[in-house]
Structure 1
Amino acid sequence: MSANENRKTACAGESCIQSRRRFLLGAGATLLAPGVLLTARPALADEAGRQRWGLLIDTRKCVGDCTACVDACAATNGLTDNGRPTTDAQWIRKVQVTDPGTGHVAHMPIMCQHCGNAQCVEVCPTGASLKRADGIVLVDKHLCIGCRYCVMACPFKARGFTHEEVKEPSPISPRGKGSAEGCNMCVQRISKGQLPACVEACARSGHEAILFGDLNDPTSLIAKRVVAFGAAALRADLRTDPSVRYVGVNL
């Protein structure tokens, strides 16, 4: 048996998958689109001095019939409407919650929570689901095998799957049939110093319910408001350490 055949035999089954995943996680970065890198090495959410991008959503300012954030996300990332709400891609959705004790009704957008302890990353067998050093959770669609483990593992129902051919994919947010997908916090815009599309659209609508910034910078506006407003994490009991926080709703 040749040396190459020996290597092929040794790298078989689950051990091969785990070995490949360790290699991918230590490989540095993968190019997703021009100017957008998927940094594969996971970072500790609370690492001192480490930048961590996040969103603060003030449900007191979110209006129920407003879809500005949803529409902007779809337009920016090339998400098409095929008339099938249960299968069409939607990286951000609006939900209505009611406090059973007070009857208070609030509206809130829910997207990938970009968890510090991301379950989608934990279950992915190929390393396609990964967390950048700045806390943003992404999918490397070149590595995704379509197993949908991440879709099932996400407790926030924030992961989707591309069931159909994408006829006109966005050049800055590539998508393809057979791959998992979800909110990428507009990394292609952040890399240019711009705000995520949902944040910009919400401000343009006059509501300004979504704030973007560095959660780990105590001098940033988002970090100050998280402390001042006592912002809560969605399903904090799951201890996923989300980078998205909410104000004005009892979670």
Structure 2
Amino acid sequence: MTMKHQEAPLDPSLGSPPDPTLNAGPDQSRRAFLGIAAGATAAVVAPAFVLQAQAVGNPRAERVSDAHRWGLLVDTNRCVDGCRACVDACDQENGLDLQRKQPDQSEAEWDTQKAVWLRKVKLQDNLTGRVSNLPMMCQHCEHPPCVDVCPTGASFKRADGIVMVDRHTCIGCRYCMMACPYKARSFIHEVVEDQLTRVPRGKGCVESCNLCVSRRDQGLDSTACADACTALGHRAILFGDLKDPASAISQALRTMPSRQIREDLDLNTGVRYAGV
């Protein structure tokens, strides 16, 4: 059974008392003062704002739509045993490499509590004994269990299929972590002192792979993990639009057998694996 958050209907009997100042005429002296103050503030703030906008680039101007569904195809035949290029690239892209062990933490506690968005796992076929290396991250399900159990709506799925967490509404209950079949989410236990502007993080929140969503919103068609893998010549990770029949990922999915991890759950994941 799934749990979905519903907004409570508004009670029309609960209203705010009328404000007696609403019908009063405008205070001309106050308006003039505010106009002068606003002009002075704009003169000071505007140049800094322009510089910041130029530094971060041009964000998307249109709404996210369901015309796209972003996903990954991982070819385990190309994934090299012992290679951590995708993991390291993910850490650097999202500021996870800035995490530091607390002085009073043991190594075992640190390994358990540090945030991990992408990890390498080994999968063994019990019939053949064949071992495959799998980069494992949020699978960006079409029907994400994490979203179903979230009591505040902090876990949500964008129209383009990317599953995310809104840290402003996350209350740290960690229901989503328990519901995720892939153990793909991390909880931030300590105050985050070092972080990247494009990937805000905060104590008491849950987080996970977001398919480098900051790149999506800057109009870039890549992820850090796929770029790093390609740069080494492995080409084990392919990113693209699953809804575009002409995209490289769609063409690859038509030519090679692939499967979902835990496909028995009928989640229709956005991450597919070939060679397993």
2:225 pairs with 174, 177, 198, which one? 198
One-letter identity of the residue aligned with 1:105: V
- Contact in 1 for aligned 2:257/2:275 (Cα 8 Å): no
Structure 1 residues 36, 87: CA separation in 2 closer, same or farther (over 3 Å shift)? farther
Distance 2:91 2:71 in 1: 20
Q: TM-score of the superposition, structure 1-length normalised?
A: 0.80
- The partner residue of 2:240 within 213, 218, 235 is 213
Q: What does residue range 169-184 of structure 1 map to in structure 2 within 5 Å?
A: 169-184=195-210
CA contact (8 A) 2:70 2:239 kept: yes
Contact 1:36–1:187 (Cα < 8 Å) also in 2: no
Is 2:180 the counterpart of 1:154? Answer: yes
Where in structure 2 are the equivalents of 1:86-101 lying within 5 Å? 86-101=112-127
Q: Which aligned pairs between 1:1-251 and structure 2 lie closer than 5 A?
A: 18-19=6-7, 35=59, 50-79=67-96, 80=99, 82=101, 83=107, 84-192=110-218, 193-249=220-276
CA deviation string 1:29-86 (max 9, x = no partner): xxxx99379x899x6xxxxxx3100000000000111000100111111112535221
TM-score, with normalisation over the residues of structure 2? 0.73
Task: Report the more deviating stretch, 191-200 or 152-161.
Answer: 191-200
Distance 2:170 2:60 in 1: 18
Q: Which amino acid aligns with 2:186?
A: G
* CA distance in 2: counterparts of 1:206 and 1:237, whole angstroms: 33
Aligned partner of residue 194 in structure 2, secondary structure: coil
Q: Which amino acid aligns with 2:204?
A: G
Which structure shows the bigger proportion of residues in strand conformation?
Answer: 1
CA RMSD of aligned residues (A): 2.4
1:213–1:222 contact (8 Å) kept in structure 2: yes
The amino acid of 1:18's aligned partner reads Q
Number of aligned pairs? 216
SS in 2 for 1:86: helix
Which protein is bigger by CA-based radius of gyration?
2
In 1, are the aligned partners of 2:122 and 2:131 still within 8 Å (CA)? Answer: yes
Q: For the residues of structure 1 that align with 2:178 and 2:85, how far apart are their CA atoms?
A: 28
Any gaps of 5 or more consecutive residues in structure 2? 10-55, 102-106
1:124–1:150: 8 Å Cα contact kept in structure 2? Answer: yes
Contact 1:18 1:125 in 2 (8 A): no
The Cα shift of 1:119 comes to 0.5
Q: For structure 1, list consecutive stretches of 5 or more residues without a partner in the other structure.
A: 1-14, 22-32, 44-49
Identity in percent: 51
**Paired letter, 1:19:** E
Q: Cα–Cα, structure 1 residues 81 and 95, in superposed 2: closer, same or farther, change >3 Å? A: farther
